[in-house]
Amino acid sequence: MKSAILVESKKPLVLLDVELPKELEFGQVLVKILYSGICGSQINEIDAVKETDRFLPHLLGHEGSGIVEKIGKGVTRVEVGDSVVLHWRKSSGIESSTPNYIWNGKKLNAGRVTTFNEKAVVSENRLTKISSDFDMRIAPLFGCAVTSAFGVVNNDAKIKIGQSVLIFGIGGIGLNIAQAASMVSANPIIGIDIHENKLDVGKKFGITHGLNANSSNLNKEIYKIIGSQGADVAIETTGNVKVIEQAYQLTAANGKTILVGVPNNNISIYSLPLHFEKILTGSHGGSAKPDIEIPRYIRLINQKKMTLENIITHEFNLTEINGAIDLFRSGKAGRVIIKMNS
């Protein structure tokens, strides 16, 4: 099967053939990948932002859609022929061992879910069954962009009616944070980004005020909207250290700053307010429970109470994956998806 392999950090992925395991182990599921999303986490992995990558070479990708082709012993939550979402957060089911792919005669490292490959051996608890008539092109968004974002609002921030919300970074996750915040009647919802086109799209998802991050008077503009006390909730999705520090500064003394983006260096903040009512916390995928939450979101979409339109802005084939990654890295695109089996 064709797979995009990270052979060397900070270099383009290499598209090569990889051998599937001859047999599935307990709790493993073989899935034909139809579409894969690209998330900022993959960019961080490619660039080795967190630390030196000790697992090279390895496969990538953690949000996708596909069809179950084979199940291993013990698997009960999916069957052959099922349409599924692949997600990185654990859900119900078996936590299997990692798969034994072979490349160049040696084992190729891979996690319990990967999606930059035409077929994947996936742990049962990284799959959620969905209806066969659901659009598989947008289904990968449930693997991270939707579940993480809605989880940030519902589980991490626990936003209340009428609370003011700042969202730094209006990509796929930022748009869905805005949508979820709007659905719980937060107000105002201020989106901050360097790209005006993203701010325009954001207004369709519930953003009440779109502000350009490059404005020399950004803080003043924000305080004019929310008041000098600061925001009830500030959610940072970029991982940029300066933006994180700014988000924390703009949060009220009894407010919450939620970090979705992973910082690429140490941050510097005045910590005294944390000993009182101010909260600064990181989000781990919005503490989402995919198998419980994905069916809820699909129901909302079917009832037209939630939308995923305009979140995906570009589609590429697997052979074009490095161009797709470059575009996503530039920040000029929304969510970018890869059609895996063209």
* Residue pLDDT, tens place only, 214-228: 999 999 999 999 999
- At residue 19, φ and ψ (nearest 5 deg) are -90, 135
Six-digit token pair at 48?
């080795």
- 3/13 Cα distance (integer angstroms): 9
Euclidean distance between the first and the last CA atom of the chain, given in angstroms as a whole number: 13
| pLDDT of residue 263 exceeding 90 | no
Q: Which residues contact 213 (CB under 8 A, 6 or more apart)?
A: 168, 192, 193, 194, 243
CA–CA distance, 86 with 213 (Å, rounded to integer): 33
**Cβ neighbour number for residue 259 with a 10 Å cutoff:** 23
Which one-letter DSSP state was computed for residue 114?
A: -
Under 8 Å between Cβ of 64 and 35: yes
Which domains, from first to last, does the chain contain?
2-138+311-339 (3.90.180.10), 145-287 (3.40.50.720)
Is pLDDT above 70 for 247? Answer: yes
Over residues 285-340, the pLDDT tens digits come to: 999 999 999 999 999 999 999 999 889 999 999 999 999 999 999 888 889 999 99
Alpha-carbon span 183 to 180, nearest angstrom: 5
Confidence check: pLDDT of 168 > 70: yes
- How confident is the model at residue 342, as a pLDDT? 62
Q: Are 104 and 116 in contact (CB under 8 A)?
A: no
Which helix (H) or strand (E) segment holds residue 234: the answer is: strand 231-236
Q: What is the predicted pLDDT for the residue at 52?
A: 80
